[in-house]
Amino acid sequence: MTDRICVARIGAAHGLRGEVRLNSFTADPVAVTQYGALANEDGTRAFEIEKCRPGKGFLVVRFKGVADRTAAERLCNVDLYVPRDRLPPPAPDEFYHADLIGLRVVTADGGEIGTVAAIHDFGAGDLLEIRPQAGGPTVMLPFTDAVVPRIDIAGGRIVVVPPEDGPDAGGFPAGC
pLDDT in tens, the chain (176 residues): 578 999 999 999 999 999 999 999 888 899 999 999 999 999 999 999 999 999 988 999 999 999 999 999 999 999 999 999 998 888 877 888 888 999 999 998 889 999 999 988 776 788 999 999 988 999 999 999 999 999 998 899 999 998 776 434 444 544 44
Residue 90 lies in a domain: no
The count of domains in the chain is 2
Which pTM was predicted? 0.73
| Cα radius of gyration rounded to whole Å, the chain | 19
Q: Which domain holds residue 61?
A: 4-84
Residues 8 and 41 in one domain: yes
Residues 78, 106 share a domain: no
* 80/15 same-domain check: yes
